[in-house]
Structure 1
């Protein structure tokens, strides 16, 4: 298993769409279907790549972006140098009190320190954070609340 394997698991899901409102195989697996599913998608990818995130919101990982943010903040997992396979927590809406409103998996820098690619669930070609699709997105650093090394890879990567 490797970070590359994790990215391949995410890439294999490219083009997957929800049925009806937020109904997905990811939500079904997680045990919470019909809700916004970006974090559930990230949890699913890590699990199926052999790197389960463990108990955050539920035993299979996280479904609420602010919970993930607080969990990894408390564990000291934030990084300024994201590597492929790290988690991204976004703050697109900059709402008072909201610390993260979307998440994805870092793939690579397009322009270091400025723009990057990320695998995301529940997004769209317009960059929506509730868009119903799995796809590779181009994003900018100004939307990032935190890059996270979730400490599931061990030290041999």
Structure 2
């Protein structure tokens, strides 16, 4: 697996470095119009995440194993945390990793590491060297980022290929889609444990070779955690789900993070308790004149399905009240997120994908 891993990382570094230039990547300069945005299909907006997605795709390493294909920086943390591939801060930075900065507002690729120092290639940034600015630049630049504020690091599943994942999914009896997500990881772990292998949930070379030679009657791993896990002592959701989260339904605009929250939370807080002209497709008024949020109702349905009984009294009514605020904070605590009561992209995705601690 080492040679395959090294080859994958080498391609990522080569593709990223080839894009570095002191000429503007935006045409016209300052427009946010780039070939990366054109490739992604969303042009004219901040493009650092699209640049990373473009590099991974050009290196032949696309969504499902090596990180999300996305234009939204927080998606990298959501993806990595759901798969156990996230390290907080800069404590564990390696070549080929994807690092987010500024509280999850900027993202770059690591191309070199020397002791505690590391260098990255990033898009939509500036040429300022060590401690360089992240301010909405027009370049693809290489900078030393040692002294910058690092939010966290995503470690792609280098050394694993699409065929390894799909073959493993077929053996353990989960959906064969090439996505090395929480459900597949849990099932592979169970199979590895049953077959005397290190139970890390990664269908790497050793596991893959064993699976290729596995007899037809080798039992598939269960798609849910083993029943021997001690019962939770807190109001706990159901065991970790294997579902993939639907797209976060609220808009993502520069400088305005929309979320589901209390009516007192301002224009970007969608409570479902009143008209919000910023999200006309999400909020609606029923025949009795009461307002509701379609997206919030879907989130409530998911939490109810995962065992949050407190929401069953009112059901998935698409309204954010005191009970909803309490449940959201409890849920965020169980999945290791800040307990702010806001249902943004990260909390939304966790409701479908994250194992509950």
> Into which bin does the TM-score normalised by the smaller protein fall?
0.7 to 0.9
Measure how far apart 1:5 and its partner are: 1.3
Q: Distance in 2 between matches of 1:87 and 1:53?
A: 13
**Residue segments in structure 2 that go unaligned for 5+ positions in a row:** 1-6, 161-203, 206-357
Question: For 1:117, what is the secondary structure of its paired residue?
Answer: strand
Q: Which residue of 2 aligns with 1:89?
A: 100
Task: Using the TM superposition, name which of 37-46 and 82-91 deviates more.
Answer: 82-91
1:96 paired residue number: none
Over aligned residues, Cα RMSD in angstroms? 2.1
TM-score (norm 1): 0.81
TM-aligned CA deviation for residue 33 of structure 1: 0.5
Aligned length: 143
Gap runs ≥5 in structure 1: 92-98
Q: What does residue 128 of structure 1 align with? A: 133
Q: Is 1:30 the equivalent of 2:40?
A: yes
Distance in 1, matches of 2:158 and 2:41, equals: 22
* Residues 1-157 of structure 1 aligned to structure 2 (within 5 Å): 1-15=7-21, 17-20=25-28, 21-54=31-64, 61-79=69-87, 80-91=91-102, 99-110=103-114, 112-113=115-116, 115-126=117-128, 127-129=132-134, 130-140=136-146, 142-151=148-157, 153-154=159-160, 155=204
- In the TM superposition, residue 153 of structure 1 has moved relative to its aligned partner by 4.1
Whole-Å separation in 2 of the counterparts to 1:132 and 1:142:
19
Computing the radius of gyration from Cα coordinates, the structure with the larger value is: 2
Shift, 1:140, TM fit:
1.7
Separation in 1, partners of 2:92, 2:107? 17
Residue 123 of structure 1 contacts residue 132 of structure 1 at CA under 8 Å; is this kept in 2?
A: yes
**Contact 2:97–2:110, Cα closer than 8 Å, also in 1:** yes
The structure with the greater share of residues assigned to strand is: 1
Moved more, 99-108 or 12-21: 12-21
Q: CA deviation at 1:81?
A: 2.8
The structure with more helix, counted as a fraction of residues: 2
Aligned residue for 1:95? none
